[in-house]
Amino acid sequence: MIARAQADYARCIDDDRLEQWPDFFVEDCLYKITTADSQRDGLEAGIVFANTRAMLRDRISALREANIYEKQAYRHVLGMPCVLDENAGGVRSETAFFVVRIMRDGTSDLFATGRYLDHYEIQNETALLKERIVVCDSSRIDTLLAIPL
Amino acid sequence: MTDVANRSAAASTPGPWPDTLTRVPFWAFQRDDVYAAEQSCVFRGAAWHYLCLEGDIPEPGDYRTTFVGDAPVIVARDSDGSVNAFENRCAHRGALICLDDKGKGKKDFACVYHAWTYNLKGDLTGVAFQKGMKGKGGMAPDFKLSDHGPRKLRVGRLHGLVFGTFSDETPELETYLGEEITSRIARVLKDRKPVVIGRYTQGLPNNWKLYVENVKDSYHASILHLFFTTFELNRLSQKGAIIVDESGGHHVSYSAIDRKAQTTNADYAQQKIRSDSQYKLADPTMLQGFDEFGDDVTLQILTVFPTFVLQQIQNAIAIRQVIPRSPTQTDLNWIILGYEDDTPDQRLVRLKQANLVGPAGFISMEDGCVGGFVQRGIAGAPDEQSVVQMGGDNAQSSESRVTEASIRGFWKAWRGLMGYRS
């Protein structure tokens, strides 16, 4: 179930169906992109921080309507989810990822590697994200981070 | 792409600098020899460079490593409480002395290569096998530890910020900044304890000066950054100004709520003259901040020549440190700040408003790519020039933000240090 949710999530972003991306989360959620250094040092502020699904929607409408950036796409490759804890409250898991960014001139770079620290809630046989902390291995982001990880 | 830019630039000879502040030859963003000259004239020249926060190294034995231009630097607090900065370069064969970003409880630094050892002031205190072994080898008898060491930086401290300079010529920090800039740093940091709540680096595909120009450029803000406009978040009328210091090199751009005009806006709303935007934030709490300065200033962007930025955008406070990596590569270190006495609610506001800035920032992600657009755009045009003429030809303060005065000021200060004459 977790593996399916992960695969659907990655396809959604890579297929540029970003409007559907917030639907992977519950309304009262936490989504944060941070770095391994910040995570280790306990620094709270992320590169992206959202504590409601509405903030995730705002991120997508800003990308579509307001922000300016060169055309680009991601290809997510995910490792097997490692289930850390499973109980009535949901499932905690950690999943390694890497993301290749493809620019309009064909340049394909390894844009980010890291791990998803997830807390899934199971609703009607579907796993929804209550929390996803995206911990990037590197503290350096090249140029800009527009599309979510 | 940028390699092409460099090759074509290197093929031509730089002409004389234009006899005006309103033109900037593009080779200044491309040439390896300009970059090398900047390292000695600007980064190791008579200018102050941000090193770290006092709060990064609160206790004796605490240290951080950073860069001043290309030069790696160690900043350390000694047992007497003093803050010292010196090159992260062993006096022996030049290896890095310290390989960590930060640390605590340090008594001394020992180079891993041959264990030459330095105290927290950067003085050479020991050389392994200085006397040789069994009476053989070792340093010459006239070798004196005190004759050797990494170069030290002068250190200037202001409201919790630590700056360093390699040059004896640099005026004292507060003189260098002048009263107007100093007072606006004080506005954000004086008598407050900033705490770092976030840290990351944005790699910029452009010359460092293109980023500095961008920060000083108030003309582009409402044109390139459409987040506020699209979501109609600038409902309150704003007033503001640009302050350029006498040297030209430092600036402050600010905007504040205009209480007089606000009434008029309310009138407009009542008359339903102003149409509602098609786009609304689904969660507007991101911008529901608090008034922490009591002066209605919603935005203050401050630069210290050449590469320090202090930002206040509502309650998003940050330091940006610009580190050149090559003629066409720059690292932008973001240091997101809160204050020690933030309430949990205030801290949450800062976490939300941090979304405005950084590589994924609603109002700053474009700044990450626009420098690259210029770098690529000018690839075949080293001898062409940019036009920096908005608001006249001087480098003075202005009540209008539709001006490029602070960019002209930057070039005035840069030319001064680089020795370029028209």
From A59, which residue of chain B is nearest by alpha-carbon distance? B362
Pairing of strands B102-103, B109-110: unpaired
**Complex ipTM, two decimals?**
0.96
Residue B11 has pLDDT above 50, yes or no: no
Q: How confident is the model at residue B270 (pLDDT cuts 50, 70, 90)?
A: low
Quick one: average pLDDT of B155-180? Answer: 98
Inter-residue contact B239 to B261 (CB < 8 Å): yes
**Tokens read off for B416:** 């001064």
Indicate whether B267 pLDDT > 60.
no
Q: Which two tokens stand for residue B96?
A: 């890095």
Residue A121 identity (one-letter amino acid): E
Of B43, B106, B116, which Cα lies nearest the Cα of B73?
A: B43
Straight-line distance from the first to the last Cα atom of chain B, in angstroms, rounded to the nearest whole number: 30
The chain-wide mean pLDDT, for chain A, equals: 96
| Sign of the four-CA dihedral A54, A59, A63, A65 | positive
Per-residue confidence (pLDDT) for residue B221, from 0 to 100 = 76
Percent of chain A's residues with pLDDT above 70:
100
Interface test with A, best of B355, B370, B374, B376 (most A CBs within 10 A): B355
Q: Is the bond leading into B14 cis (omega within 30 degrees of zero)?
A: no
Contact (CB<8Å) A49/B362: no
Q: A25 pairs with which residues across the strands?
A: A129
Tokens matching residue B90: 């062993």
Q: Map residue B183 onto helix, strand or coil.
A: helix
Q: Which chain B residues touch A67 with a CB distance below 8 Å?
A: 226-227, 362, 365-366
Say if residues B28 and B391 touch (Cβ distance below 8 Å). Answer: no
Residue B374 has pLDDT above 60, yes or no: yes
Residues of B in contact with A58 (CB under 8 A): 281-283, 286
Please write the tens of the pLDDT for every residue from A44-69: 999 999 999 999 999 999 999 889 89
pTM of structure: 0.94
- Chain A nearest-CA distance from B134, in A, is 47
Q: Closest partner residue to B197 among A44, A59, A69, by Cβ?
A: A44
Backbone angles phi, psi at B212, to 5 degrees: -65, -40
* Cβ-contact B375, B361 below 8 angstroms: no
Q: What is the pLDDT of residue B10?
A: 45
**Which is more confidently placed, B316 or B3?**
B316
